[in-house]
Amino acid sequence: MASRKLKSVAGVIGTPVAQSLSPAIHNAAFAQMGKPWRYVAIDVDATYFEDEVACSRDNGFLGLSVTMPHKDAAFAVATQCDEVAKRSRSVNTLVFSETGSIIGANTDGDGCCDALEHHDASIEGCHVVVLGAGGTARAVITALDLRGAAEIVVINRTAEHAHSAAQCSTRARVGELVDIEQAQIVINTTSVGMLSDESLVPRQHLRASQVVLDAVYAPMRTRLLRDAAEIGARTIDGLWMLVFQAVRQEEMWCGVRPDPLSMRGAAEREIERRNQ
C-alpha cells in the first residue's frame, strides 16, 4: 500500500554504491530548488532488491535511482514503464506513485542525448556509433532513435549481444571498429577505461570532425577522450551524461527541472574531496 507520509527522501540502490556520486548530485539539486529533502545510498544485493524497493516505497520515498547490477531487476518490478525502458528492458529510475504503483523509466539514453545537445551536437540525421550492448547501450540506442538519428551502428565484443541491442531501433545495425571512421558521433557505453588507461577504439579510427562521448567518468579524461581531443575531435566526459540523466530523474520525482551546472559543480567538488 502507498505511504501517506510526506515524500522527502530518494536514493540510489545498487552494490557497491559507496563510490556513487549520485548523493552529491541529487542533494545539490534539492538544495538548489529549495527542497528540504535528502538523497541516500542503499547498498543491497540481488537477493533483497525487490524487498528493499517495496520498503522504500512504503516508507515514503520519492523514488530510486537504480545502478548496477539491478537495472534488469528494476524493469521486472516496475508495474509500468516509459518507452525507453520498454525497448531497452532496463530501468535506472523508479517513481513511487500515490497509489503504490512502481513506475519504471530509463534516463540513461536521454541523459546521453541531453549531454550531446548541451555541447551543440545535433543528433537528428546523424550517423552514430555506440560501443557496448548492455542496458546503458540499449537505452542510448533507443533515445538516439527517438531523436531522429539516421543510422546507429552497434559495436560489441559479443556479436550476439550486439544483435540484441540493435533490435532497439529499426535504424540500428551491428558493425565493426572500422565503421567508427564514418561516424559523426561516437559514444562509449562500456566500462572500458574506468580506472584504467584502456580504450576500445584504436586512435586511427577517430576523426577530427567527430563528437566523442565516453560514459565513463572515473577518470573524466579517459584514454578514448584524450585520443579524440589530440586529433581535434570534440569530447564530452561521462560526468555530463551522469548529471543530465539525474536532471531527468529529478523532473520525474519533483516536477521541477534543476540546474545541471549546480549539480555538476557538486559532483566535481565531491571528486576533488575524495582525491585529497
Close Cβ partners of 273 (under 8 Å, ≥ 6 residues apart): none
Catalytic annotation present for 86: no
**Which of 5, 7, 35, 71 is flagged as catalytic?**
71
Rounded to whole angstroms, how far apart are CA atoms 164 and 151? 16
> Are residues 165 and 156 in contact, defined by beta-carbon separation less than 8 angstroms?
yes
Helix (H) or strand (E) run with residue 91 in it: none
Scored b (16 or more CB within 10 A) or e, 118-154 reads: eeebebeebebbbbbbbbbbbbbbbbbbbbebebbbb
Instruction: Please give, one letter per residue, the 3-state secondary structure of 99-167.
Output: CCCEEEECCHHHHHHHHHHHCCCCCCCCEEEEECCCHHHHHHHHHHHHCCCCEEEEECCCHHHHHHHHC
Rounded to whole angstroms, how far apart are CA atoms 9 and 23? 11
* Catalytic residue set: 71
